[in-house]
Amino acid sequence: MPDRFPPLNALRAELAAGRTSSRALTERALDAALTSSEAAATFVAVHAAQARATADAIDAQRAAGVPLPPLAGIPISVKDLFDEAGQVTRAGSRVLSDAAPAAQDCPVVSRLRAAGAVIVGRTNMTEFAYSGLGLNPHYGTPRNPWDRGVGRIPGGSSSGAAISVTDGMAAAGIGSDTGGSVRIPSALCGLTGFKPTARRVPLDGVLPLSFSLDSIGPLAQSVACCALLDAVLAGEAPVTPAPAPLAGKRFWLPRTLALDGLDDTVARAFDAACRALSQAGARLVDLDVPEFAELAHLNRQGGFTAAEAWWWHADLIAQREAQYDPRVSSRIRRGAAITAADYLTLQRARARWIATLSARLDGDLLLMPTIPVVAPAIAPLQASDDAYTQTNLLILRNPTFINFLDGCALTLPCHVPGEAPVGLMLAGCGGQDARVLAAGAAVERVLGDTHR
């Protein structure tokens, strides 16, 4: 496996003690971003000169004894749909290559800079964020760090964000999550990823996929890393979540769809994680979730994603459809058939769905595999539209439940080190972010003890 950076709090301690410098960390990230086997398919732009200048400025401030913000001097990557002043926001597409550079940073980037982050570059992604697989015919597909000989998907749409972290090109990455686009690549690549309640982080200056479902979150090494980055993105004071007591804590195991179709590796890792949590005192309780079975019907016309993507893309598709990945444009086009009545019906149905499911969960968290299968090989998905479509639906299935819920969710690695990465998802209703992170810190500790 490639050489990753330590967790963020460890880097902060090293910097504070003078055992490393921001310039050293930045050079390490840039070296990987320019020389890794996956570098060309991971970044669409590397900000080498700007990153070095930022790192040197932070090192000078530290030497002068200036109080520094929480991410000061730490290299971070951002997905290619966040506006950065002077950069073209392409969203992984050739369609926007001649667009004007952004006039200003979006709030996400502004908050990262204010927190002292060294932004090393813009990461590749599924075109316009419209797939959970991470394939990109325009800029290439970075390979999963597991089994690179075969060449497996990184997961999407935040594909480059994940690989920038696994391959040491950044200490953490910032992605978006509309149907799992932070959690899927995190799970498939052995990272921790957090999808917050959507309203926590402003979407201004972020190229949209679905403004009803889009959310912004981190991909990193640990729950504490995700909590720190989430606080920065949300404009809150950083905190390290204290692990919530697990003794007597109830987690729901959804028996409707979420545990269907698990491959042997995922089933084995999930069962082992459940046993470890039970032994730690947690109560894992089976729950029928009929709302999960209803979601495919509610989204049968393409759902909010198709309707809202069509609203944004209609003129571009009319002018430049030949430049789109056809597997993306064909799904966007589904939105053209969705009427205003259809859209309003879906909005009302979602509100009822959220209310019913929230009452069923009774304030407790869901526990399920993030993805039902390990990362599939890239080549068969490139070769077959049917394989691409069916695999994409399967991989998006569990994460999508939480986006439609307007909830929050954390994915944690739960596999045995050295085996194929498997993600364990903890999810709650909207506004339960702190509770999910605290529970995740406790689960992370138990899983770490199990795998030592």
164 catalytic residue (yes or no): no
Q: Within the chain, which residues score under 50 in pLDDT?
A: none
SS3 for 249-300 is: CEEEEECCCCCCCCCHHHHHHHHHHHHHHHHCCCEEEEECCHHHHHHHHHCC
- In one letter, which amino acid is 157? S
List the helix and strand counts (H, then E) for the chain.
16, 11
- Which pLDDT does position 427 carry in this prediction? 98
- Which pLDDT does position 239 carry in this prediction? 86
C-alpha R_g of the chain = 21
- Which pLDDT does position 1 carry in this prediction? 52
Q: Which residues contact 33 (CB under 8 A, 6 or more apart)?
A: 39, 42, 43, 46, 120, 121, 164, 169, 170
CB 75 within 8 A of CB 171: yes
- Which pLDDT does position 449 carry in this prediction? 77
Q: Which residues contact 130 (CB under 8 A, 6 or more apart)?
A: 157, 209, 305, 309, 328, 331, 332
157 catalytic residue (yes or no): yes
CB 111 within 8 A of CB 103: no
Q: Which residues contact 312 (CB under 8 A, 6 or more apart)?
A: 208
Catalytic residue among 21, 22, 77, 79: 79
- Which pLDDT does position 128 carry in this prediction? 98
Catalytic residue among 131, 159, 164, 181: 181
pTM (2 d.p.)? 0.98
Reported in sequence order, the residue ranges of 20-140 that DSSP labels E, i.e. its strands, are 43-46, 75-79, 118-123
- Which pLDDT does position 174 carry in this prediction? 99
Give the position of tokens 């709030």: 107
Catalytic residue among 93, 110, 157, 159: 157
Architecture of domain 8-234: Alpha-Beta Complex (3.90)
- Give per-residue burial for 322-334: e unless 16+ CB within 10 Å, then b: ebbbebbbebbbb
Q: In what order do the strands lie in the sheet with 216-220?
A: 43-46, 118-123, 75-79, 172-176, 216-220, 192-195, 408-413, 423-428, 365-369, 250-254, 283-287
Return contacts of 390-394, CB within 8 angstroms, 24+ apart: 391/133, 392/131, 392/132, 392/133, 394/261
Which one, of 243, 336, 260, lies nearest residue 296 by Cα? 260
